[in-house]
C-alpha cells in the first residue's frame, strides 16, 4: 500500500516538474527584460551605519514614474491656486485691496496654444444636435440647477420645447420680464455683472480694477469715411482725439460680463446709428472675472466684433467679445458675419461698412432693440463719447439686467 502511494506521488512530481521549470524560465525572462533598461541608469551610493544603500538620481525617478509626478505637481498647483482664490475672497470681505497677479508671457502663450477655437467649434456642433424628447428635461434641469437659470422669465417655460442646447441658450424672454428704462440715456445691453466702468485715461481701458488693455489694440486703427482706408499709426493722444469728435467731451467705458446662466441675447443700449463693423478673429480664452484679473489685455487676445457709429453726443461703440465655447457671435442685421471660422487667421481683422450709396447713414438702432446674441456667456464692452457731466449709476461688481440704467447726463 505504501509502495503504491509512493509510486503515485513520484508520477505526479514528474508531471509537475516540467511545468514549474517553464514557469520559472518565463518569470526570469520577464524580469530580465524589465530590469534591462534600469541597469543602464546612473546609480549613486551612500553609506549609513548599517549598510550601503543604492539610490537613483532625480532624473532616474522621473523616467521611471512620470505620471505620478505630473499628477502630484498638477494637483499641488491646482490646490495652491484654490488657496490663493480663497485668501483673496477673505481679504475682499475685510475690505482690503488685493494687487492683481498678472500671468507671465509664457503662461499666456501656453494658454493660447490650447486649440480653443477648434474645441469651441466642436461644442457649437454638439449644441445643435437634437435631443430626444425624454432627455430634454433632465439635461436642461441640470443646467438650470448648476447656473441658477430663472425659467419663469422665459417666453417658453416648457423645457421640451427646446430641441437642442443651442435653442435653450438663446431662449427669448417674456416682454414684461425686462422693462426698458426711459429716464436714462444709456441702459444695460444685457444681463450680467459690471466688471468696470469710468473714464478712459491715457488710452488705457480697465478690464477689471488695476488690469488694463490698449484702446487702439482693442478697437483697431481708426478708419476714415472714404472707402475705409486704414489710418496711419498715431500716438495715444491723437488716437483718442480721433474718437472724441466734440469739444468738451470725454471718453467713457463699461464692461459687462455675461455668465453661462444669464440671458444670452444683447440689445441696443441707446438710440444710435451703426456705420461700421470690424471683426477680429482671435483666441477664445475664458473671460470670467478671475481670468480678467490674471491676463493683461485679455479682451485684445480674444475674438471680438466691434460695432462703431454715432449717437447724439458723438462716437459710440459696442463690442461683443468671444470666449471659450462662445466662438459664435451673431449680429442680427449682419448676415455676412461669420465668427470662429477656419478661413480667418488669428492676428488679422476684416472690416465691413454699413454706409452705402443707397444708405448714407448706416443702421439705425433704437434703445432696447434686439441687436445680437451669444451661444453662451461672454462679455460686452461699451466705449462712447459723452459730455463731462455724464454719470454712471453703477457699482463695480454689481449684478445688472438688460434694460436697467447704466448712466445719464
Catalytic residues: 191, 267, 378
Which residues, 6+ apart, have CB-to-CB distance to 224 below 8 Å?
Answer: 231
Question: Could you tell me the sign of the dihedral formed by the alpha carbons of 400, 329, 323, 377, in that order?
Answer: positive
User: Exposure pattern of 243-272 as b/e (b: 16+ CB <10 Å)?
Assistant: bbeeeebbbbbbbbbbbbebbbbbbbbbbb
CA triple 53-56-59, angle to 5 deg: 165
Extended strands (E) in 236-342: 249-257, 265-267, 272-280, 304-311, 314-321, 329-331
What is the distance between the alpha carbons of residues 288 and 96, in angstroms, rounded to a whole number? Answer: 21
Kindly state the cell numbers that stand for 343. 478661413
* β-bridge pairing 186-187 and 405-408: antiparallel
C-alpha 379 chain-centroid distance:
9
Q: Using CA atoms, how far apart are residues 26 and 22, in angstroms rounded to an integer?
A: 6
Residues constituting the chain = 409
C-alpha to C-alpha distance for 316 and 244, rounded to whole angstroms: 10
Amino acid at each position: 500500500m505504501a509502495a503504491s502511494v509512493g509510486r503515485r506521488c513520484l508520477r505526479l512530481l514528474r508531471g509537475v516538474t516540467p511545468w514549474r521549470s517553464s514557469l520559472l524560465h518565463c518569470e526570469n525572462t520577464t524580469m530580465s527584460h524589465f530590469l534591462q533598461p534600469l541597469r543602464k541608469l546612473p546609480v549613486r551610493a551612500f553609506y549609513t551605519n548599517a549598510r550601503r544603500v543604492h539610490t537613483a538620481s532625480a532624473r532616474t525617478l522621473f523616467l521611471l514614474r512620470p505620471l505620478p509626478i505630473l499628477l502630484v505637481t498638477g494637483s499641488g498647483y491646482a490646490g495652491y491656486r484654490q488657496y490663493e482664490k480663497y485668501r483673496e475672497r477673505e481679504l475682499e470681505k475685510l475690505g482690503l485691496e488685493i494687487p492683481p497677479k498678472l500671468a507671465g508671457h509664457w503662461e499666456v502663450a501656453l494658454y493660447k496654444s490650447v486649440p480653443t477655437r477648434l474645441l469651441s467649434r466642436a461644442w457649437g456642433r454638439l449644441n445643435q444636435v437634437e435631443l430626444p424628447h425624454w432627455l430634454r428635461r433632465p439635461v436642461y434641469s441640470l443646467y438650470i440647477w448648476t447656473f441658477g437659470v430663472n425659467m419663469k422669465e422665459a417666453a417658453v417655460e416648457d423645457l421640451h420645447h427646446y430641441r437642442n442646447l443651442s435653442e435653450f441658450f438663446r431662449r427669448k424672454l417674456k416682454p414684461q420680464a425686462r422693462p426698458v428704462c426711459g429716464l436714462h440715456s444709456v441702459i444695460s445691453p444685457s444681463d450680467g455683472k459690471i466688471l468696470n466702468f469710468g473714464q478712459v485715461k491715457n488710452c488705457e481701458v480697465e478690464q477689471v480694477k488695476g488690469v488694463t488693455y490698449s484702446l487702439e489694440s482693442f478697437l483697431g486703427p481708426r478708419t476714415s469715411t472714404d472707402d475705409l482706408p486704414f489710418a496711419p499709426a498715431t500716438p495715444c493722444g491723437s488716437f483718442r482725439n480721433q474718437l472724441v469728435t466734440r469739444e468738451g467731451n470725454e471718453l467713457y467705458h463699461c464692461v459687462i460680463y455675461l455668465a453661462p446662466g444669464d440671458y444670452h441675447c444683447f440689445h441696443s443700449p441707446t438710440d444710435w446709428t451703426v456705420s461700421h463693423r470690424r471683426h477680429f478673429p482671435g483666441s477664445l480664452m475664458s473671460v470670467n472675472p478671475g481670468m480678467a484679473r490674471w491676463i493683461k489685455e485679455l479682451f485684445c487676445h480674444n475674438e471680438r466684433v466691434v460695432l462703431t457709429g454715432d449717437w447724439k453726443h458723438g462716437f459710440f461703440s459696442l463690442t461683443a467679445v468671444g470666449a471659450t465655447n462662445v466662438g459664435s457671435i451673431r449680429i442680427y442685421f449682419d448676415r455676412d458675419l461669420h465668427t470662429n471660422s477656419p478661413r480667418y487667421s488669428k492676428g488679422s481683422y476684416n472690416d465691413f461698412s454699413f454706409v452705402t450709396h443707397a444708405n448714407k447713414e448706416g443702421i439705425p438702432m433704437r434703445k432696447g432693440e434686439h441687436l445680437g446674441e451669444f451661444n453662451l456667456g461672454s462679455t460686452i464692452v461699451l466705449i462712447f463719447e459723452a459730455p463731462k457731466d455724464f454719470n454712471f449709476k453703477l457699482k463695480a461688481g454689481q449684478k445688472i439686467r438688460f434694460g436697467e440704467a447704466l448712466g445719464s447726463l
